[in-house]
Amino acid sequence: MQVGKCIIDDTRSQPFKLYRGMASKGVVEDYDLWDGNTENLFVEGEERMVPYEGKSVVEVVHEYANGLKSAMSYLGYNTLSELKGSLWTGKTIGVKL
């Protein structure tokens, strides 16, 4: 899960911050994640300025935790231990396709 857009440094005076997805061109080049041959450069992430959302890290983590709890309830799980690995093994409780 990428949360860089949601959790940015609010100590700066700028209301915007550069957001770089881990598959963005800037990250791929900065971390030498390609061989230098432009034919092999595959970029699918985005890189842009995003506005500061005005939320603290605590607020953002709380929102993600609530979303996870909601998803777990739809799938019939009560604990993370029950959920762990079950989505990839076909042992999902609440939803069967």
Do 20 and 6 sit in the same domain of this protein? yes
H/E run at residue 47? strand 47-51
pLDDT digits (tens, 9 = 90+) for 26-81: 888 888 887 888 787 788 888 998 887 777 888 888 999 999 999 888 888 888 88
Look at residue 49 and give its three-state secondary structure. strand
Q: Which DSSP string corresponds to 2-13? A: --TTTS--TTSS
pLDDT at 95: 54
* Cα within 13 Å of Cα(56), Cβ side: 3
Structural domain count, the chain? 2
Do 26 and 5 sit in the same domain of this protein? yes
Do 82 and 62 sit in the same domain of this protein? yes
Q: What is the pLDDT confidence band of residue 14, given thresholds at 50, 70 and 90?
A: low
pLDDT at 90: 65
Statement: residue 22 has pLDDT above 60: yes
Alpha-carbon dihedral sign for residues 32, 36, 42, 43: positive
The better pLDDT of the pair 34, 8 is held by: 34
Q: Which two tokens stand for residue 26?
A: 């800037």
